[in-house]
Structures are given as C-alpha cells and as structure tokens.
Structure 1
Amino acid sequence: MSALTELSISVNSFSGPIPKELGNLKELTYLDIGSNNFSGILLPELGNLVKLERLYMDSCGLSGEIPSTFAKLTNMQTLWASDNPFSGKIPDFIGNWTQLTDLQFQGNSFEGPIPTSFSQLTSLYYLRISDIYDGSSSLDFIKNLKSLTELKLRNALITGTIPSDIGECQSLFLGNNSLFGPLPSQKSDQLQTIDLSYNFLSRSLPQWVTTMSQLNLVVNNFTFDSSNITGKGIASLVMYTLDIDCKHVFISSVIRITDADFSINCGGPQVMGRDGKLYEAEDSALGPATFSVTSTEKWAVSSNAGLFSADRNTPLFRVNTHAQVTGIYVSPELFQTSRMSPGSLRYYGLGLKNGPYTVTLHFAETVFASRTSRTWRSLGRRVFDIYIQGARMTKDFDISKEAGGVNREYVSKFYVPVSENYLEIHLFWAGKGTCCIPDQGDYGPLIAVVNAASDLAPIVDGHPPTTPPTTQPPTTPGKKIKTGLIVGIAVLVGVVSLLLIFAIPYMRRKKSEKEDDEDILGLGPRPNTFSYAELRAATEDFNLSNKLGEGGYGPVYKGTLSDGRVVAVKQLSVASHQGKSQFVSEIATISAVQHRNLVKLYGCCIEGSHRILVYEYLENKSLDQALFGTSNLHLDWPTRFNILLGTARGLAYLHEESMPRIVHRDVKASNILLDAKLTPKISDFGLAKLYDDEKTHISTRVAGTIGYLAPEYALFGHLTEKADVFGFGVVVLEILSGRPNSYNNLDLEKIYLLEWVWTLHENDQTLGLVDPRLTEFDETEATRLIRAALMCTQGSPMARPSMSRVVAMLSGDIDIGTVMSKPNYLTDYNFKDVTTFSTGRFLVEDDTPSTASKHSNVHLNYQPEGSNASGANTPGVDPMPSPVNVTQSLLAGIIEEGSDK
C-alpha cells in the first residue's frame, strides 16, 4: 500500500474520522474522499503527501481549519473542498502552489480576505470561491492570472472596481458582492458568460452588452442610455439591467392593487387543487437569467442561474418526474412537475393588498433516489436557503432531510408582512450539497407549489369576495334619465373630489418614499430591509423587558427574528439629532466594511418616520459595562490586551483599508462591544464621517463624547483620523486602569485619568496605573501599552501615530520611541480656577455635572482604594466627561459654533 499512487473512496457513505495512517501513503498523487459522511478535522498528517497533485474532498463532512502542514503540498494542481464547514482564513501559503490549475472553495465558512498571494497562481484556469465572511477583498489579485478561464466569486465580500483586463476569462460570476463603478468599456471575445448581479455598479452601459447571450446585471445602479445601446439586445437589457429594484417595475406595471392571494404550480400546467384553489400554470422555458410576469399580472418568476446554466444538460430548469409523491397536502398533479434552478429562483406577488400574509411552500425531492436504494442517484444532496421579503427564513434547507425521505411532500409556512403591495420569495443556492448527481447541474433550489394568502381578507375560490348587488325600486323613463344624469354628475364630482383628497397625500407620500428609496439606492452597499411590523414582532412591540439600553440617538432593544436570529434593534428616537441623511450615512458606512472587529449590520427599516438599524447581538454587551458596571465578566490581562489589539485593528481597517476611508468620530468604551468569546467589535457608526484622501474637515459638525474628543476636534471642528487615535488612547488607559477617564470620588490628583497618568509617567511610576484587581499582568506589555496611549493622546494630531503603527506598537513589532512631554491641553489649564480661556470659548469650573450621564446605561460600580467618598456606587453615574471639567452649556455652544462654520 505504501507504493499506492491513486486512491478514490468518493461517493460512499463512509463516516467517522479519517485515519491518520492515510498520511503514510507518501507516493499518492491523486486522492478523492469527496461525497462521504466523515467527521472531525482535516488531519495535519495529510500534509505529508508532498507528491499529491489532485485532492478532491468536496462534501466529505470534515471541518476545522486547513492545517499549516498543507504548505508542503507545492505539487498541487487541483483542490476541490466545497460544501464543508471549513473555517478560519484561507491559507496564504496556497499562493505558493504555483502549479495549481483548479481551486474550488464554495459553501464553506472561510473568513476573508482572499489572500493577495493568489496573484502568484499564474497557472490557474478555474477559481470558485463563495460565502466568505469578515474581511473584504478586491480583484487586484487576478490581474496576473492570464490563464484564468472561469472566475466565480459569489457572495465573497468582493469590493472595488472591475479591472479592465481580466485575462482570458470565458465565464465570469461576481454576483452578490459590493463592486462599484462602471463596467469596462471593452471586453475580450472569449468572455461570453457574465453575471454581475446584486452589486453596486453604475453609470451607462457599454455597447458590448448587446452582444451577450448570457448576461445578468440585475440589481445594480446602471443608467440606460438608448443612444448608446442598439440592436436586438435592448429588451433583455431592460430586464437584466434596469430592474434595479424589481418591486418598482412590478407595481408600475400592475393596474390595480386588489389581489389578496396567488397560487402557482411551479414548472407545470394550471391545476385546480383539492383545496379549491386554482394553481396557475408556470411552465415557461426559463433561461439562465430570465424574468417573466404572468398574463394575469398577479405574480412573476425570475431565474438567476448565472454561470451555472453551463452545468445543465437541459437549460429549461424544469423537472418532469411524474413521481408518486406521498403525504400530499394538495393535489398529486401538482407534484408531477417542479421548478429547479442551480443558482437562484424568485417568485414575486404583485399588486397585493397590504397586511399580514401566510406564505405556504410545498417541496418534494423528486430528482434524487432514496438513500436505502444505495444507488448513484441516492447519494445526491440538495441544500439551499429560503428568503422571504429579503430576510433569510431557513438556512441550509434540505428537502429530503426535512421530509424524511425522497418523494415525500414537505410544507413550510411563513408569516410575513406585505407593506408595499409586493411579496418576494427567494430560494438561493449558497454552494452547498452535491453538484453532479445524478447529472451535471442537478443541485440548487427545487420547488413544486407556491401559495400566498392574506390573513385579513377572506378568500373564495382564489378570489376576494365581491359585494352583492343592491335592489332599486322601478322608476319612469324620464325620471330615470334625469336621475341618471344627476347621479352621474354627482358621482363624477365625488370621484374627482376623492381623487384629489387621496391623490395629494399619496403623491406626497410616494415622493417621500421615492426620496427614501433614492437615498438607499444611492448608497454604496445596500443592507437588507425589514418592515416595521417585523421588528415590532421581533421585540415584542419594543417591550421594556427587551430594552438593552439607550444612547444619545435612541433606545436599543433585543429582538428575535422569525428565522431565530437574535439581534439588537436600534430605534432612533424622534428627539434624536440624527436625521435621515445621517441615518442613511450610517447604513452605508457599516455595510461598506466587513471586519471581525467591526459590528455587523443585518439591515434597516425606513418606513414613514421610523429609522431603525438591526445589528448583530453581542452577548457580553459593551466594554464600559464590563469595566465599570455590574457585569460579572472577569477581564484578566490577556483578555484586556486582546481587546485593545482587536479594537486597534478594527480602527486601522477603517482608516487605511476600507474604501472609502472612514473616521469613526466617537471611539469610546461604550462603543466597543464584546461577543461570547470577548472578541471586541466597534459599534455605532452613526457619527462616522467619510472623507477623501488628503482632505480634512475643518467645517464639520462636531459629534462625539466629551472625554474622548481630541482637542482640535472639540475646539475647532478639525477632523482627521487622528481624532479616533486620541479616543483610542483614552480607551487604552481605561482598560489598563479599570477606571473611567474622569471620576470625582478619587483623590484630587487622580480624578482626571490623563493628568494622573502623566504624573505617574514623569515620576517613573507608570505601572501604578494598572488596575489593582489584576493579580497578574505582563509588566513589559503594560509599560508598552501605557507609552502607546501617551503617544495617542498627544495634543497635536501630527504627533499621534497612525492606527496601523499603533497595532505594531501594541504587538511589539516596532519600538515606540521617546514619549514627548505632557501635552499643552493639560499644562495650560488650571482645573480648579474659574477661568475663561483666551479663546473666549469655554469656561473651566469645578464640580460641573456630566453631559453624558443622561444617556448612560452604565451603573458605575467602580470604587478603588483611596476613594474619598463612601457613596461611590451611585446608580446612573457615567464616567466624567473630560480631562478638563468643562461647563456644560458653554461647551455645547462650542459644538454648535463649530457646526456653523
């Protein structure tokens, strides 16, 4: 066996861990363990197979990270690893596999970004990667891949623009990413299949789009210039490119809004069901990127197979099985056909009355054979996600698993709101399951029946009830004519009056809605949207028992979505200063970046006056609660160090890696949230400000929390990324000391944290700052962190390091150097005197109350040794506002003055 060169055990039902002895077959050049039910991790011992050229392990069941020992597999030519819960980062060492021609990572749980070392894979022909989370990537790495013929990066957090030169690609799939900018003005003749749907591409379309037979550009921001587009491709382009937001196209095409239900026989003819509903025919020949409205205009269907159409032997995406499906809830005839798409399948309800609806989906696995048959067809596995109204309702849905076998009906019911006369049902393949069983392309969504019905209006035979005619007494002919004329005029006047009464508010409302839509569509990344009714249900009508806290912009509630996700729902209050433009800015900035140390935005709600953000829920709340509040969290030294390092990395990403660059403007302990593993995530981008390179904002609205504000920003509105560096420096000192930046119950020399640390530094006693609750800590690291914090809080922004240098400082990769002298903002101000500074802008007084306390949710539980007050545990007290105790009203005037410049 030791001389074995090829081994294939694929498409079986092997289970359990892989034997480590497999690593002893050092002559192997070919190994296929795909389509099995193994468990456990990918063994490091497989890295001993240094002669391996082809490794197939797709759908094998293994998990964990790719071992570092795989770096030795430099002879690798083909690697298929799709449909496995592999995690961690895609290894950078894969870039050294310069003989690699085929790489497939689809439906995994890898963390981004895609390694830039992939630019060295100049022999690569096929690259498929999907479902990346955390860490965006650009397409710069493909510029050197001149041999690339097929590129599929779906839902992979790809951002930036499309390079004008994409090599010799024949098929290109970059759907569901964050690409922006125009399409290249020219393309190679080899490139014949393109899917760029669900991005943020814009501007007019180049002439070459009319020559494409397989092109999908839906849900982008293109403008349509008919003078630039000629030929037979115009009709399809309207479908594929101008359908930026399908619901607007739908509603404008529907004359009436009277329907309260629709029923569809997917892939088959019209059938009268045993439940009395008429299931309309849906048997058109859908192509790889097709959109079709039914003749009744009650519903539409859209297939978005994209490049996967090449995987289908019959590109009709219709299954005619004549299967004998058991457990029939509706008529058996409805399961003689099904609709299938190897990519994405959507059904839309059009012209629906608003209100709550029940969506009923009927499935049956009619393509694969029963597992008990032990045939080739029995080894297929179909996995996809179900979205309704843009929200994922079911993840990794497996029909045969849920139904308990093949040829068995499975019914899924969902209760959703319809608020814009429009309903979307989206079945989405995320790269999981088998691909080639029984035939190439037999994967992705499969559905037999769709039904949606209002929970308010009674339905009779599939139609809303009609009003019975009334009986009128007979009249004479003359009287009848006169009466008819009077009634006609009266009705006409009444109708016109009613139209005016309802049209004016309607037009105003639609104008407002259009402006809202334009705001959202004009953003870079677009998050999911939730209805207000959905968020009310998630938070139990914003019940106080679910309230997590309240910041300066409104309350935050814990909620549970219909798909089971626990979220944080930030409801902006009416009194909030954050208007629509700031709200939309927050949506854009959070959605534009993906990083493990930045809080995730799941979506938003903009309905009427409601402005709501839906974030991921972080179990351990905020850092200030952990440090100063009543939290039971134990933050030991390694944990505190990792929190600081993670926060620094998140800020460095905002400042230097995201496009556009972002200044947070309110870096503070309460805006650093902690997940279950105490990983820090920077939150609250409502104060974020986008800015261009080589520009600062002298005339900007000052927004932030006193105590963390850099002097140049607080006094003059001068904003650069160095304002965030200052705030981070204050946070470093708070984490090290375990106390807030200002606290009146301490001895006089310790009240202001920045002043105290400089006193300690000047007396070579900086370690006296460290939290006495820390029984163990690394003195070298602590000294390094304090010195870094002193550099970050220098008075001049030019003297502060960049956040990338701060990361290097904290990690010990670079020397911090000599810390400058105490900043002028500390030495020039007399804290105890009632003095007006020469600027005439604010007054320094003693014992001024905190401006931040009214927004605080932290009950200060900090009572250090040497406290000069017995009542240190005063509920509702927030950390004091500033290194200098500033009069509240006068500082507010400064901020307003700065905003008017």
Structure 2
Amino acid sequence: MCLYRLSTFLFLLALSGVETVCGNVELRALMEIKSSLDPENKHLSSWTSDGDPCGGTFVGVVCNDHRKVANISLQSKGLSGEVSPAVAELECLTGLYLHYNSLTGEIPKEIANLTELTDLYLDVNNLSGTIPPEIGDMASLQVLQLCCNQLTGSIPTNMGSLKKLNVLALHHNTLNESIPASLGDLGMLKRLDLSFNQFSGPIPLSIANNPLLEIFYVQNNSLSGLVPPAFKRLNQGFQCENNPSLCGIGFSSLRACSPWDNQNIIQVEPFQPITRNNTLENPIAANFNTHCNQTRCSRSSKFVQVAIVSCATTFAVTLIIAGFLIFIKCRRQKQKIGSTFDTSDSRVSSTDQASEFYMKNASPLVSLEYGNGWDPLGDSHDCKGVYQELPPGFKFNLEEVESATQYFSEANLLGKSKFSAVYKGVLKDGTVVAIRSISVTCCKSEEAEFMKGLSLLSSLRHENLVRLRGFCCSKGRGECFLIYDFASEGNLSQYLDVEDGSGHFLDWSTRVSIIDGIAKGIRYLHSSENGKPGIVHQNISVEKVLIHQNFNPLLSDSGLLKLLADDIVFSALKVSAALGYMAPEYITTGRFTEKSDVYAFGVIILQILSGKRKLSNLMRLAAESCCLEDFVDPNLKGKFFDSEAAKLTEVALACTNEVPEQRPTMEVVVQELKQM
C-alpha cells in the first residue's frame, strides 16, 4: 500500500511539473540566446534567469496563448554578438526579427528546426558564411530577409521547396555561381531581390513564369545570355542593369543580342499585355484628356486590332529568335545549343493569400515594450490616464462594451483578423455600433505615439468616413476596444461578383455615386485644414469601404495603422499586396504617400466598373483599349452612360499609373468627377 501511494504521489508530482519543465526549457534557451546575442549584457538585461519570459518583462519577447515563445523582435537594438543555435529550442516561434544590428558569425543550421517560423529577418548585419541548405526545409516560411550581410557561396537549390515564401531578399552580399532554376517553383513569391552580388550564368525562364512575381532585381551581377521576354510584364519591377553580358529584346537597359551571344532557347509568351497608352501626359492638371472616344467597340474593331498586333509581335519575335538559332547552328555546328535551365511543371497558382488574414488563434507577431512605465491597461474599468487628450464622451468602460456585445457573443461577431475582431453592438441608448477589439500586444509601444494617433482618429469628421465614437482598454482581457458607427449595408466587396438578379446588384448611378463618395473621403484624409494634418490611409480596399443607408460609402479604418506596432502593420499590408492594392513603388521604397492611396483608389474604380474583385489581363486590356463593352459589368446589360464610363476609366488608369508622380491628386480627381 505504501509503495502504491508513493508511486501515485510521484506520478502526480510529475504531472504538476510538466509545465514548469517545459517553461524551463525555453527559459534556458532564451538565456543562451541572450549570452550569444548580447555577451556584455548591455541591451538584454531584462532577460533574467529567474524571470518569466511570458510575463511581459523580457524585452522583445511575446508568447502565445499556451505560454510558448512565439515572437522575438530585437531589431535595431545594437546587438553585436552571434545568433545562437539554441533558438531552435523555441519550437513555437513564428517570427524572428534581428535586423538592423551588428551581428557576426554564421547563420546556424539549427534554425531550420523552427517549423512554425513564418518571418525570418536577419538583414543589415555582418553575418558571414553560406546560406544553410537546411533553410529549404522550413515549410512555413513566408519572408526571408538575409540582405546586406557578408554571405558567400551559392543559393541552395532546395530553397525552391519553400512553397509559402512571399519575399526573398538576398541583395548586397557576395553570393556567386548561377541562379538556381528551382526558384521558379516558389509559386507564392512576389519579391525576389538578388542584386549586388556575384551571380553568373543565365537568368532561368522558370522564374519568369511565376504568375505572382512583381519584383525581380538582379542588377550589379555578372549574369550573361538572353533575358526571357516574359520579364517585360514586370515593367519597372524588373531591374537588370550593370550585367554587361546580358542581352535582350524590348528592354531599354539591355543591348540587343547578337548571333555570337551564348543565348538560352526561350519560349515566347503567348500573350503580351499592351503597354499603357498614357494620353494623360499631365494627369495632375485639372483637365483629363479622355482618349476613349469609341466606347462601344465591337470584337472586330479596336480590341481585336490590339490582339492582332500582339499576336503579330509575338510571331515576329519568334521568327527573330528562330533566325538567331539557325544562324548560330550554322556557325557553330559543334556547339551544343540548348536550354541551360530546367522548367518545372508544378506551379502553385493560388493567389488567394487573403485567407491568411482570417486565420484563427494566430500568435502575436510583435513584441511590446512599454516605455517610461506606460501601461494603457493601467485601470481595467475606467481607463483613466488614457483619455486626457480625447474629446468629452469618448470614454467607454468595459461594462458598456460587454453589455453592447452581449459579452462578445459569437452571434455578434462580424469578422476576425490576425490582430483584431469586430463585433456588432447596441449601446444603452439603442445606438447600433461596431466594436473592434485589438490585442494590446499589437499596439504602439510608446504612450505619446499611441495617444497622438488616437487623438487624431477621434478628430476625423466627414460624411464618407466611419466615425470613431470611443475607446477603452481592459487589462483583464488584454485588449483595447474602438467603438465605431455601424454601417448597415455591409462592405463594398459584397456587391462584386454577384449573380444576375441578385439583391446586391448595383445600378450605374449607384456605382458612380459610390466612386464619388470614396474619392471625397480620401480627399478629406489627405487635406490639411482646420489644424488637421494630412493622413495617408495606407490600406484602402473594397473591404474597407462600408455601405450605409442610401448606399452612402464610408471609408473605414482611417488612421488605424497609426495605433498599431510596425510588424503588425507589415503583416496587414501583406494582405493588401496580395489583393493588388499595393502601389508598386512601396516594394522598393518601403514608404507610403498620398499617391499610394490614389493607386488603391484607381484599382477600386476598375473593380466597381467591372463588377469583379479580381481583374484579369484581358479585362485590363479591354479598359486600356477603350472597349468598355468588354470591360463594364455585363450585369448592367448596357445600361450605362458611355461618356461617364469613359471618364471613369480614364481616371482609374491615371490613378494606377506606375509612376507615382504621374498620378493625380485626390483634389484633382474629385474636381474631375464633379464635371461628369
């Protein structure tokens, strides 16, 4: 009996200690990581062996709901040590941000054991050695930033196995050998930067066939051979300067190929989108010169003419290349001419990256440091101290929020994202509101910065903006709440891709009115009047356009990103980029301007006119060719005004000009729409 009791006691003791043992494993790993990253203990003194990594005291460390380390954000901390292999023991880590430091040494191969890692930022350090081939096994990886280091060697071939990778940045290193054709298997890749290295050999055609690729930089290398014409579709997104041995057809930065160039056999694209005929040489001027004089073109007219020209161009290019190959064969009969790249038949063609925006139980992506002792959750009920700069009546307490949402009932849940959830609520006076809950770990870390953003949001007043009514934080729930006016008719995306006869169908005059309202809302944000600074929305999409009574459009989430931490903003913007609203210059500059909002507005015009969320190349071609019968929503059955459709198409094309300086301001757009 005594033996039985003893064994039972030991068993229960073992069970009670499981969490402690697991916690100690990660704590020991963090202490090893600290000693390696910060050997002099100058920057990570808050990491202590007797501390709690999930208690909020470890700078840059965030845990998930299971008290596992999910994120380490130590960018720009002045760290000068090395990356420890012990990082592999943090098995639930989803984000590792060590960029903009002075780290040395090699990238540990053990890092590949982080099977949940989505974001790996090691750029702008002094890392050396080669890229561990084991990184090719990190199936969850979406962003890999290794640029601006001292890495050498080649790109591991198995990196083509990273099927979820969106961004691969390896520029400004000393990488060499050839670019592996396996990178063409990265079907979700949108940005590939290999510039300022020592790569040699040809550019693989397999990369050009990637349907989602928007940015491909290979300038300042030692590449050679013929550049596949397929890269022309990237326009300014393809940069290949300072590769003297490269040649190509139709690239302004490349010399024409000669018969003596060691060319790759290429496949000519079956369809080449036309270059936009931008007759709006000065779209910033108030007068838009509409070139769509013939809006009702038959399929045997202008649209077909463009298609014929495209086919003729393709045929001519094919003949030229064939002539080159025959000439080479005659001159070099002993030389084997063939493709120096392989082409994979497998492609990940899905573009539905937006689904990641609705992942449930997502781990926090950013660390939070409260400077100067600031804690927005300092009072769980009254939120005192947070409202000093806010207007009267802006203060809500947790009880009001809970009552309005029926204690956050699932029946009231309108939507959920990685960093927030939105509930429908009813206040005590009967007012219907929308309440957005945001995890406190996603908010700005500095009190002054957070309060400045909140004060600005509370001051926004316009008939085409969703009004922010109030704000509160709950320390017990670990959340902050934004209370907005409720829009009764859903969002604009619900009115796209509708079936004929659906109740969500928008007639022509309603579409024009919605476009006009959105334009006025954005103009108000951009304007500086009555002490209000100009605001860039940064995340405009049809989902952000709410529809209220009488189909009045209301732009939502205006200025919301000013309250969120940088890495959360980056995560949200990945969704915007996947859906096509991201202005091309953001990829290269990393900065948003008013012209970025103008670009997104132009995309929305095209979506409203076509009635489609996704704009195909053929639809774009029809719009650029003024063949509006092939572009405007067929559900309208021709019931639209030719002159208005032509004018709106011109405005949309001007707004989506790839050169931001050539896009009009929203003031000009509003004035132009007023003349219709």
Q: TM-score range, shorter-chain basis?
A: 0.3 to 0.5
TM-score norm. by structure 2 comes to 0.39
The answer to which structure has the higher strand fraction is 1
